[in-house]
Structure 1
Amino acid sequence: MSQLNEENVGGYSVTYSREDTYFPIYVTAAVAAVFLGAAWFTAGWYWLPLAAATAAFTYHNLPMLESGRPIIGANQYGIFIQALGLIRWRAIARIDVVPIADRAMISQQLQITLNAPLGSALVVDWRRQPLYRRLMRRPWWLGHDGVVRVNVEPLDQPAEEIHRSFLRMWRFYRS
């Protein structure tokens, strides 16, 4: 088990989908390059904050281009989430898919309720990221109530299928 890392987790895994996620990232990268070029050719410093802002947005969303890297999944030890770690099965109290209303759209969110503090629930802790990855998008966030939340909309499998697979594995490995 000591050889588990974010690229080699085994078991059931889900990645980012290849649908429309690339387009905004490539567009903002091109816009950042245009702003940088405008700053260079016009010698206008006022283009640099625009270039920096669009480049920062692109950099933050770069993990969405890693469609071959597992984002979330499960194996015999528990549920793994990129940039979080491996949550052991016995530390999970509930696994739910909750619809979240955000302005004019409804998205699906996987909520993993823990029955232990996060530090003791993790078998393997991947929260310490290399310096270059710390400002990049994380697929999870921890609520004040100790619930790990994962937005499943950009993933390559439907929320119901992910939920069903996690529940089936949770019931099997917990017993």
Structure 2
Amino acid sequence: MSSNLNEENVGGYSVAYSRDDTYFPIYVMALLAAVFLGAAWFTGGWYWLLFAAATAAFTYYNLPLLETGRPTIGANQYGIFLQAFGLIRWRAIKEINLVPIADRAMITEQLQIVLNVPLASALVVDWRKQPLYRALMRRPWRLDKSGFLQVNLEPFDQPAAEIHGTFLRMWRYYRS
């Protein structure tokens, strides 16, 4: 495998966050953080700093949603890659499922990747150790207690069924 394989240079099929108006609240919260900071400056009230810190933290956490040109999840001949997680080799994957999740009044779809080996031996490249400035930002994946790797497919620029179908086709082709 190429030694220059990193999160920005993965090749193959990749999916990024979609660029639409649903991320408008991130910009609003950034503006509110600036307004609260200005209020703290002009009034001298320290309590405004609490509001500024909370809204700035929300903005900082959700900043990756605005990185629409960066590959977030995808697959290549080596396996499935996830931003801030790594590259999972094809033979280490037992199942790839598309699961509907009821969340309040809506249903979102989640990709569940089940491994048949321990995580340490499943990863070809490990990207879980992130730089300090990215450590507290949103990640597209979650590793639950039962060992399933879960990826919420709602914020991506392609339909969930298409992402799942492409992963399944590539998994069947490359693991044989």
Report TM bin, short chain: over 0.9
Percent identity over the alignment is 77
Q: Retained in 2: the 8 A contact 1:10–1:75? A: yes
- The aligned residue for residue 137 of structure 1 is 138
Paired residue for 1:161? 162
1:72-111 to 2 correspondence within 5 Å?
72-111=73-112
Q: Deviations over 1:78-118 (max 9, x none)?
A: 00000000000000000011000011111010000000111
Tell me how far 1:19 sits from its aligned partner. Answer: 1.0
Q: Does 1:48 pair with 2:49?
A: yes
SS in 1 for 2:81: strand
Code of the residue aligned with 1:119 in structure 2: it is: A
**How far does residue 3 in structure 1 lie from its aligned partner after superposition?**
1.0
Please give the residue correspondences for 1:3-22 in structure 2 after superposition, counting only pairs within 5 Å: 3-22=4-23
Name the amino acid aligned to 2:116.
N
Q: TM-score, normalised by structure 1?
A: 0.99
**Counterpart Cα distance in 2 of 1:121 and 1:147:** 13
Q: Which amino acid aligns with 2:50?
A: P
Q: Which residue of 2 aligns with 1:2?
A: 3
Instruction: Give 1:55 shift.
Output: 0.1
Aligned partner letter, 1:38? A
The aligned counterpart of 2:67 is: 66
List gaps (5 residues or longer) in structure 2: none
Instruction: Read off the aligned partner of 1:66 and give its amino acid letter.
Output: E
- Supply the AA of the counterpart residue of 2:144: G
Structure 1 runs (4+) deviating above 6 angstroms are: none
The match for 1:126 is: 127
- C-alpha distance in 1 between matches for 2:104 and 2:23: 23
| TM-score for both structures, normalised by structure 2 | 0.98
CA RMSD of aligned residues (A): 0.6
- Secondary structure of the residue aligned to 2:54 is helix
Instruction: Report SS of the residue matched to 2:124.
Output: strand
- Please give the alpha-carbon distance, in whole angstroms, between the structure 2 residues aligned to 1:147 and 1:164: 19
Number of matched residues?
A: 175
